[in-house]
Amino acid sequence: NAGVTQTPKFQVLKTGQSMTLQCAQDMNHNSMYWYRQDPGMGLRLIYYSASEGTTDKGEVPNGYNVSRLNKREFSLRLESAAPSQTSVYFCASTRDRGNYGYTFGSGTRLTVV
């Protein structure tokens, strides 16, 4: 019963490097989300996918791209990392947006130097 699995758990990037954060859920959930969590700023939505085949921008999408590869997988890509993207990234999913709580992954701690 894995729930939401995120990889990697930790990553250090140099400014300008690119990387993809992977997320997979095994609960047959329709909606998936990417959040970042920074001290004093709470959880902020980067991108979300209400259903397979759709993606939409959240509150802080600049510098990121996403791919909903299939119903299970939702990846987040940083094309050219910047120090301002140093954060903890969480992937989440839910069966029915607004009616059920989110199931979160354990997070990816990213440092950009």
Partner 1 sequence: EDQVTQSPEALRLQEGESSSLNCSYTVSGLRGLFWYRQDPGKGPEFLFTLYSAGEEKEKERLKATLTKKESFLHITAPKPEDSATYLCAVETNAGKSTFGDGTTLTVKP
What residues make contact with partner 1 under the rule CB under 8 A? Answer: 4, 35, 40-45, 50, 90, 92, 97-107
User: Would you say 22 or 103 has its CB closer to partner 1?
Assistant: 103
99 DSSP 8-state letter = T
For tokens 């069966």, the residue is 95
User: Would you say 17 or 104 has its CB closer to partner 1?
Assistant: 104
19 DSSP 8-state letter = E
Q: How far is the CB of 43 from partner 1 (least distance, A)?
A: 4
Residue 6, class by beta-carbon neighbours within 10 Å (0-12 exposed, 13-18 middle, 19+ buried)?
A: buried
Q: How far is the CB of 96 from partner 1 (least distance, A)?
A: 11
